[in-house]
Amino acid sequence: MPVNRNALIRLRTIDKCLQNRGRRWTLEDLIEACSEALYEYEGIDKGVSRRTVQMDIQLMRSDKLGYNAPIIIKEKKYYVYDDPEYTIEKNPLSKADLEKLSEAIDILKHFKGFNHFQHMSGIIQGLEDRVNSAGLDGRSIVHLETNENLRGIEFIDPIYQAIRNKQVTQLTYQSFKARTPNVFNFHAYLLKEYRNRWFVLGRKSSKEPMVTLALDRIKAIQVMPTVKYIDNVKFDANEYYKDVIGVTVNEGNRPQTVHLAIDRSNAPYVITKPFHHTQKIVAKSSEGIEVTIDVILNYELEREILGFGECITVIKPKKLRERIEGKLKKAVANYLSAGSDPE
């Protein structure tokens, strides 16, 4: 049973009051204490109703949150814990809480590359032990795609810290096309993951456009504390990437309407997993479907289309259609030139 922040403040306040056995607590005393706590922590000055506190006490007594608090009434007016050592803070997690915790652990274990999670490894292990000792099935039932041999993961945390602390980094970077590495200062704004590969978005100087760099092409990184960081307070990641598939944003280019035909066998996949949030179905037939998306043309879009092989056809724009056609023709030529393997 979920509990909102205000309710949690009230429950903890009642708990602290009842732990204080040097004072006797009437219902009116508890109402006043809860009202003061809500004003202190949340600025709520309208107070708490009598019924609300009565319901809170009933909730604490019940098993809905796993508390089973031993609250009794003495002399028909004073509320007290029957067990002087009891507190909800020491209460064991309920089965429902443990199940939710188990789900969270499954997901947390996949966040590698951040020092935060490296430092939390002992905590996560302790949580796992608690879940297992409670008799729950410890098998993982959530699996995220990972690649243990992925290069560049070790740069995630230094870049994350540089962004958070607004520090300039000096990168030694070698793209796939470059023969030798380049060294330059970089003002990073965002870490982005796409298809199990990490990228960093930023700029080299205030006069240059933003660029996306692959972490697996970084050779070395060094923080430059004496270089002034070029902040970008107006940057909005959702706005920046809204017109693209993937991570490559060709600044200055506007979105184009891409018209695609998908055959009958692959239509369900495209319907249930759209290429882009702008996808619209514009035609249906026994042969398949036709969809449109409004995106900036980039490398990732081409890879997405090529991944469907013969099952997809670019109707327009003409430039994209010709590029895909050219790549497919080259692929066929490669197969023809390679010949068949001897049996």
- CATH 1.10.10 in the chain is located at 5-90
Cβ proximity of 260 and 311 under 8 Å: no
- Domain 5-90 belongs to what architecture? Orthogonal Bundle (1.10)
What's the confidence (pLDDT) of residue 173? 95
Residue with tokens 């933003």: 210
d(CA 256, CA 265): 27
Q: Indicate whether 115 pLDDT > 90.
A: no
The pLDDT score that the predictor gives to residue 296 is 95
Within the chain, all domains assigned CATH 3.30.70 are found at 256-338
Average pLDDT value for residue range 171-187: 94
User: pLDDT band for position 1 (50/70/90)?
Assistant: very low
Task: Assess whether pLDDT exceeds 50 at residue 116.
Answer: yes
Tokens of 97: 């809480």
pLDDT category at 2 given cuts 50, 70, 90 is very low
- Where do the DSSP E strands lie in 225-287? 256-263, 280-285
Examine the pLDDT at 58 and tell me if it is beyond 50. Answer: yes
Task: Assess whether pLDDT exceeds 50 at residue 189.
Answer: yes
Which phi and psi (to 5°) does residue 62 adopt? -85, 180
What residue type is 270 in one-letter code?
A: V
Q: In the chain, where does the domain assigned CATH 2.30.30 lie?
A: 153-241
pTM above 0.95, yes or no: no
What residues have CB less than 8 Å from 198, skipping those under 6 apart? 113, 150, 152, 153, 156, 191, 192, 214, 215, 216
Sequence-separated (6 or more) residues with CB below 8 Å from residue 170: 183, 184, 185, 186, 221, 222, 223, 224
Task: Tell me how far CA of residue 10 lies from CA of 4, 31, 41, 130, 169, in angstroms.
Answer: 10, 9, 11, 28, 47
Mean pLDDT score of the chain, rounded to an integer? 86
Domain 256-338's class? alpha beta
Q: Which fold has domain 153-241?
A: SH3 type barrels. (2.30.30)
Mean pLDDT of 310-328: 96
Which tens digit of pLDDT belongs to each residue from 256-303?
999 999 999 999 999 999 999 999 999 999 999 999 999 999 999 999
Give the separation between CA 173 and CA 61, rounded to whole angstroms: 61
Cα–chain center distance at 258: 29
Instruction: Evaluate whether 295 touches 304 at the Cβ level (below 8 Å).
Output: no
Report which DSSP code applies to 255.
Answer: P
**Among 336, 284, 326, 287, which Cα is nearest to 305's?**
326
Q: Check whether 219 has a pLDDT greater than 80.
A: yes
pLDDT band at 215 (very low <50, low <70, confident <90, very high): very high
